[in-house]
Structure 1
Amino acid sequence: MTRLSVNINKFATLRNARGGNNPDVVKTALDCERFGAQGITVHPRPDERHIRYNDVIELKKVISTEFNIEGYPDDRYMELVQKTKPAQATLVPDGPHVLTSNAGWDTVSHYSFLQEIVTELKNQGVRASIFVDPDPKMVEMAAKMGADRVELYTESYATAYLADKEKAIAPFKEAAKAAHEAGIGINAGHDLDLDNLAYLAKEISEIDEVSIGHALVCDAIYLGLENTIQMYLKQLQV
């Protein structure tokens, strides 16, 4: 079954809006685990507008499920990964001023750069995942450079889902097929929610993990965090 990793960035955004430590992101992560989440994802950014680098260090001390740190692999990110040794590092091409992830890596033009980073991560015993668009070529090159997984950027799927779900998922099925044939794992994330998640998981059963933050946190406001996590887990039981 596809595993659920909860991205807790938005809880940190709420905390930072008032200062102090409410909500407590460490307690939130532990609660997510207690309520059934099988992983915790964070995406620290250089301006620390949500998750702070120190949060990552404190989270690593207590998280018992899989810890996934997303980010652009600059020196500070790589130092943080080396210090905390998460289960997984997900490399995204976001620059420092990007509001949220909006594209996958071009693994052809950035091949040498990413290969060096992937090798370093694997030497540290950290699973390397590359954030890519649903393009078989991008997947194939990620596998060639030694990545353990790709994370398929699912915004286009989520956007087109209501109009034509079969058309929306078609390129993702092709990308998943390429990953399967290349022998690497598949993650997925961005704009997944209670409306579109079950169909994705049913149609691409090879997905190892989905990372969900914004929609899950919004749902939790209305439904409660424990109930929301259980509802997302139910969508994955296909």
Structure 2
Amino acid sequence: MDLLQILIDADENKVHEGTPPRRSCNHVSYHEVYAQGMIFLATFEGLTTPLSFLAHALATHLDVQKKLFDEIHSVIGDEDPTCDKIQKMEYLDHVIREILRLYPPFTFIGRETANTVTIKGYTFPEGSTVIVPLLEIQRDPDYFDEPDTFQPDRWKGSINPLAWLPFGYGQRQCIAVRLSMLAMKIAVIHVLRRVKFVTQPDVPKLLELEYPVTGLIVPKRSIKLKIELRDHPEHYIG
């Protein structure tokens, strides 16, 4: 009984033997099922992309990795992470926010103007599409010191909320922002308390990025890391 199966069962073209016809408001089309499936895929991409970049950031910043592991060990230990305990993990929140600042899952968001509006001398006619360049804003030196560097401690200070937009902002902010943040934190807790990320000799500290037409960001060259088991440091996973 997962959501995708419920959508498939609600397909208006699907015949259910022995069941009375349902009202049309309970039916969805094939295209609606397809659209919901694409939303699921986009959601997973929004989680896996920053987590992949986080593995690189932790491998190239062992001091951050140790501090984060120490917080996980002191707050969670070997227990299953709960919402209450995760909310107490301030440094984990800073690390996730910093990686989403440097490597947002998507490089831009688009908004359509409901009415003609003029902002700082620029007029946007009704129905115009406005593209917000997330990466440029989140790496703007006017908002962040040394914007291209990975510094989770910067989140101890005051950050302009409109300078951090991986989930958008305002009434059209991603509805899954809290769920996504929680899912990433749970993933980091489960992985980092068991393994340690280690760099290879040719892994750069600063990554060069590419921007495919999909709007996602990817590194220009493949990144290879080594994973060291914490319980058995003499064994490695390639």
TM-score for both structures, normalised by structure 1: 0.21
Q: Which has the higher contact order (CA 8 A, sep 6+)?
A: 1
Q: Give the greater-gyration-radius structure (CA).
A: 2
TM-score for both structures, normalised by structure 2: 0.21
